[in-house]
């Protein structure tokens, strides 16, 4: 409310003094002016209120729709995660060549039936000739000429890349899997707490290079062997390979944590967390790979040489280089203590 008073609006006495009675609160002109001012002010307030309410409502509507969209997305993602909860959490990776296509087909079919992700490293760079297999488009193909399984693994299986998989099977291509069941194998290594493992080798059908990898028929898992005759005896006091904590490079299986360690060439407690699963076993066919000559076939008339000895020789050279670098690093690092040093 607005009131405007001046001395013309006041009643004066005969002596000229101002009376305490008003002639009129406002003159007619001033009254109109005040009412107009009040109307304009009220209109401005109402206008501001209307505009402000509209903006606020629009902003809230946008926010509300945004919240609804976010909620819908979260709900969708949640349902997707729930629907994909049974998706594959294990990886099979193999270095393969076209000469072992039949053997690889058997292995891949068995692992695909257990919902594994499969990654094939083609060391002969032949990929097109695999297209006739029904699973060809459902696996990952990587190719590089005459490279080994571990060369591929170091470059394409970084621990951060394969972190979503619980177990990584890094196998050779020349393994018979007729008596092997991936699901049973996973249940066993989880129950036994094996971080690094391999299926035992059938000694009657396989090329066994190390006694610890041979299947023990009355055992589910073994972590060590005993040898009381000849050189290199193995007893309960043995803490090093090949008596304990040993798996062969042909068919190792790593847990997620173990693979991160192995990738950086760091080893854990091999007396407890490394073992051979006897109840689930494979056959090592011992077939020539990496482009080598097939013993079951006559050598070609051309003077094609077998490069496998050269590859093996180079692997020993690189291992010696690694050992030299390791010993040098140990000598230079005065604070480093070997947690697995043998007495």
Residues 278 and 157 in one domain: yes
Q: What average pLDDT does this structure show over 78-84? A: 44
Provide the CB-side half-sphere exposure for 269 (13 A, CA): 5
Residues 65 and 173 in one domain: no
Q: Which has the higher per-residue pLDDT, 71 or 199?
A: 199
Domain count of the fold of the chain: 2
Would you say the pTM of this structure is higher than 0.85? no
User: Is pLDDT at 71 greater than 60 in this prediction?
Assistant: no
Q: Which has the higher per-residue pLDDT, 161 or 18?
A: 161
Q: Which of 5-14, 165-174, 298-307 has the lowest mean pLDDT?
A: 5-14
Residues 53 and 168 in one domain: no
| Mean of per-residue pLDDT scores for the chain | 75
DSSP states of 157-178: --TTTTTT-SEEEEE-S-EE-T
Residue with tokens 């393969």: 96
Residues 8 and 116 in one domain: no
Residues 103 and 184 in one domain: yes
Residue 327 located in a structural domain:
no
Distance of CA 293 to the CA centre of its chain: 37
The tens digit of pLDDT for each residue in 8-57 reads 444 455 555 554 444 444 455 656 666 667 666 777 776 666 656 555 45
| Residue where one domain finishes, among candidates 85, 120, 153 | 85
DSSP states of 26-76: S-HHHHHHHHHHHHHHHHHHHHHHHHHHHHHHHHHHHHHHHHHHHHHHHHH
Q: What average pLDDT does this structure show over 124-150? A: 91
Residue 300 located in a structural domain:
no
| Percentage with pLDDT > 70 across the chain | 62
| Residue where one domain finishes, among candidates 231, 259, 284 | 284
- We report the CATH number of the domain holding residue 146 as 3.90.550
User: Is pLDDT at 61 greater than 90 in this prediction?
Assistant: no
Can you give the residue range of the structural domain that contains 21? 1-85
Residue 313 located in a structural domain:
no
CA dihedral defined by 224, 230, 232, 234, rounded to 10 degrees? Answer: 30
pLDDT given for residue 303 in this prediction = 58
pLDDT given for residue 28 in this prediction = 57
pLDDT given for residue 266 in this prediction = 42
């Amino acid at each position: 409310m607005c009131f405007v008073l001046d001395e013309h609006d006041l009643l004066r006495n005969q002596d000229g003094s101002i009376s305490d009675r008003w002639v009129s609160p406002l003159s007619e002109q001033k009254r109109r002016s005040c009412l107009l001012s009040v109307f304009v002010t009220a209109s401005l307030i109402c206008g501001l209120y209307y505009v402000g309410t509209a903006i606020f409502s629009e902003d809230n509507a946008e926010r509300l729709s945004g919240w609804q969209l976010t909620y819908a997305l979260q709900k969708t993602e949640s349902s997707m995660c729930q629907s994909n909860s049974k998706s594959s959490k294990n990886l099979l990776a193999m270095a393969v060549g076209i000469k072992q296509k039949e053997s690889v087909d058997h292995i891949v079919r068995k692992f695909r039936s257990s919902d594994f992700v499969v990654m094939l490293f083609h060391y002969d760079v032949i990929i097109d000739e695999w297209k006739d297999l029904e699973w060809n488009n459902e696996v990952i193909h990587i190719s590089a000429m005459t490279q080994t399984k571990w060369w591929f693994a170091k470059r394409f299986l970084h621990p951060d890349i394969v972190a979503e998989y619980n177990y990584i099977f890094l196998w050779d291509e020349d393994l018979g899997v007729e008596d092997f069941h991936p699901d049973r194998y996973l249940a066993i290594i989880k129950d036994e707490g094996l971080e690094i493992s391999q299926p035992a080798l059938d000694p009657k059908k396989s090329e066994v290079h190390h006694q610890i990898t041979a299947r023990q028929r009355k055992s589910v898992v073994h972590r060590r062997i005993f040898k009381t005759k000849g050189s290199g005896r193995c007893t309960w006091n043995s803490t090093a390979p090949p008596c304990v904590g040993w798996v062969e490079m042909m068919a190792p299986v790593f847990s997620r944590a173990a693979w991160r360690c192995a990738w950086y060439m760091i080893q854990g407690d091999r007396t407890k967390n490394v073992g051979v699963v006897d109840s689930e076993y494979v056959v090592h066919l011992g077939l020539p790979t990496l482009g080598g000559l097939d013993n079951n076939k006559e050598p070609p008339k051309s003077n094609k040489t077998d490069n496998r000895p050269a590859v093996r020789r180079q692997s020993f050279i690189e291992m010696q280089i690694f050992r030299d670098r390791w010993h040098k690093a140990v000598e230079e690092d005065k604070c480093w203590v070997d947690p697995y040093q043998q007495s």
